[in-house]
Amino acid sequence: MSDGALIALTAEAAAARIADGSLPAAEYAEAYRARAAADRAAADDGLNCFTWVADSVGDHRAGPLAGVPVAVKDLFCTAGVPSQAGSRLLEGYLPPYTATAVRRLEDAGATSHAKTNQDEFAMGSSTENSAFGPSRNPWDRERVPGGSSGGSAAAVAAGLAPWALGTDTGGSIRQPAALCGIVGLKPTYGSVSRYGMIAFASSLDQAGPLTRNVRDAALMLRHMVGRDECDATSLDYPLEIRLPAREDLAGVRIGVPAELTADGIEAGVLARFSEALALAEGLGATIEQVTLPTAPHGLAAYYVLAPAECSSNLARFDGVRYGHRVEGADLTEMYTRTRHDGFGREVRRRVMLGTYALSSGYYDAFYDRAQRVRTLIAEDFARVFASVDIVATPTTPTVAFRLGEKTADPLAMYLSDYCTVPMSLAGIPAISIPAGLVDGLPAGLQLAAPAFKENELLDAARALELALAFDGSAAYV
């Protein structure tokens, strides 16, 4: 089979062919490994998706995903493989264990063929905060792929991986999926173990798939969910994740919140969103206007809560136990110099913001108030889901912006997550699927559902995906 024919296969189709013997697992895995290695070797001419690529495909275990390679975000610990969280502070770090989400995929037969680039410690919306240089969007190499899982999204969109594992704290799977024209799913908080994910904000971080279609996202998620004794916040998933087959939306009630679908959304993105809603109506869905009155405050609450948790989680990086160290005249100077030189500017900014928000005299004014806003957002969603099945919004306010366009304006960068943050604060599942092109660049459609309603969410996303008929092959390299 030609390289092009191999790359055209969905992960589901490849797994089926490997299982029936019509596709050699080693041939399939090597095709992707070689493509990833070539992109990494291309340096300035490549997409800079990867921080590490395997020297060979190695062996795989028997299982339903046998022989299908998966690209893994640099934030996941993988035993004996560099796991650096996009940071110089952890450059070259080789963990002694593998994250549960990765291990479960490997137990199902998948092989980890590469680690993907990301914003440092998952803090960013463009992958420009990586200590290893920015990744590029395969639709336009002068534009960002989104973040923080930008390397994962760009790799899948470019045909350098059949699917990839990312993490989503405030939109870090869904936003890059939208900007790169692929599918990105943030599962219900607690449905996938966080053990072995290098923590950013522990009450928000969640692992999830980035894939070329919705069925692949469901297949990958099926082998990731479930209780893990190593993560006290993980939960038994109540049902098996089904592979969605629905082609209509008869009886599905879709709520459209004005707060996330009006001001600040680019005209082209809004046009693709409106067209997707019209298609949903044509498939039998009922479209209703709903209100999420607290959602506009989500971004402000997020940028108190996430930095506060980041300040706590990143305290462990002190130059003593592991990672980068800069010597000093005494212990305090060593701590200070290590963290100053090891952390990038955005990480230092968020650590300082979070430390301030948690400090004596400011805790009630900032952190406690942000937690109250988070509760109100969750209550808003609960009220809305009493009358609709799905909430729909654009995934991002804009299409992919140019490299360097927003690096000097943190607030403009943070606004990239305006539509995705409320779902993260509420802990509910949300998926981004391609809604079409705006001036040759992908725009995303976001669908959200109540907690543990991934099956219903995936069904709706699959039906709309078929109707939208987006062709992402133009991004293949």
* Matching residue, tokens 């729909």: 392
Specify whether 73 is catalytic.
yes
Residue ranges covered by each domain of the chain: 3-248
- Residue 5, pLDDT > 90, answer no
Segment 243-255 mean pLDDT: 97
Q: What is the pLDDT of residues 116-158, one digit of tens each?
A: 999 999 999 999 999 999 999 999 999 999 999 999 999 999 9
Q: Calculate the average pLDDT of the chain.
A: 96
Q: The tokens 């069904």 sit on which residue? A: 459
pLDDT of residue 133: 97
Confirm whether 193 is a catalytic residue: no
Of 125, 114, 181, give the one whose Cα is nearest residue 148: 125
The answer to whether the Cα torsion of 342, 143, 158, 180 is positive or negative is positive
Report, as an integer, the average pLDDT of 39-56: 93
Q: What confidence tier does 455 reach under pLDDT thresholds 50, 70, 90?
A: very high
292-313 average pLDDT score: 97
- The highest-level CATH class for domain 3-248 is alpha beta
Directed axis angle between helix 298-313 and helix 369-384, to 10°?
130
User: What mean pLDDT do residues 423-434 have?
Assistant: 98
- Residue 260 has a pLDDT of 96
Could you tell me the pLDDT band of residue 60, with boundaries at 50, 70 and 90? confident
Question: Active-site residue among 73, 115, 406, 453?
Answer: 73
CA-to-CA distance for 208 and 231, rounded, in angstroms?
A: 16
Please give the pLDDT value at position 458: 98
pLDDT above 80 for 231 = yes
Given pLDDT bands bounded at 50, 70 and 90, which one contains residue 77?
A: very high
Cβ contacts of residue 237 below 8 Å, gap of 6+? 191, 225, 226, 452
Tokens of 213: 């279609």
Q: Residue 186 — φ and ψ, nearest 5°?
A: -100, 115
pLDDT at residue number 360: 85
- Predicted local distance difference test score (pLDDT) of residue 43: 79
* Mean pLDDT, range 399-403, rounded to an integer: 98
Active-site residue, from 125, 148, 193, 416: 148
Whether the pLDDT of residue 58 is over 90: the answer is no
Looking at residue 156, its pLDDT comes to 98
The reported pLDDT for the residue numbered 345 is 95
Distance CA 260, CA 256 (A): 8
Report yes or no on whether pTM surpasses 0.95. yes
pLDDT above 90 coverage of the chain, percent: 92
pLDDT score for 178: 98
- What are the beta bridge partners of residue 391? 255, 448
Rounded distance between C-alpha atoms, residue 407 and residue 28, angstroms: 38
Question: What average pLDDT score do residues 193-215 get?
Answer: 98
- Residue 44, pLDDT > 90, answer no
Q: What is the pLDDT of residue 3?
A: 79
Residue range 170-175: average pLDDT?
A: 98
Catalytic residue among 87, 126, 172, 432: 172
165 DSSP β-pair partners = 72, 209
**Whether the predicted pLDDT of 1 surpasses 80:** no
CA atoms of 309 and 371, how far apart (whole Å):
12
In the annotation, is 149 catalytic?
Answer: no
Give buried/exposed letters for 215-247 (b at 16+ CB in 10 A, else e): bbbbbbbbbbbeebeebeebbebeeebeebebe
What is residue 171's three-state secondary structure?
A: coil
Which pLDDT belongs to residue 384? 98
Report the candidate in 253, 244, 246, 247 with the shortest Cα–Cα distance to residue 285.
Answer: 253
**What is the reported pLDDT for 321?**
81
Q: Give the tens place of pLDDT for each residue, 344-398.
A: 999 999 999 999 999 988 888 899 999 999 999 999 999 999 999 999 999 999 9
The helix/strand/coil state of 231 is strand
Residue 263's pLDDT is 82
pLDDT at position 319, please?
87
Model confidence band, residue 59 (pLDDT cutoffs 50, 70, 90): confident
Residue 400: which pLDDT band, with cuts at 50, 70 and 90?
very high
Q: Is the pLDDT of residue 205 over 90?
A: yes
Pick from 11-20, 58-67, 211-220, 383-392: least confident: 58-67
Mean pLDDT, residues 195-219 taken together: 98
| Residue keyed to tokens 């959304």 | 265
Q: Are strands 69-73 and 163-168 parallel, antiparallel or unpaired?
A: parallel
CA distance 131 to 87: 5
* Mean pLDDT, range 305-312, rounded to an integer: 97
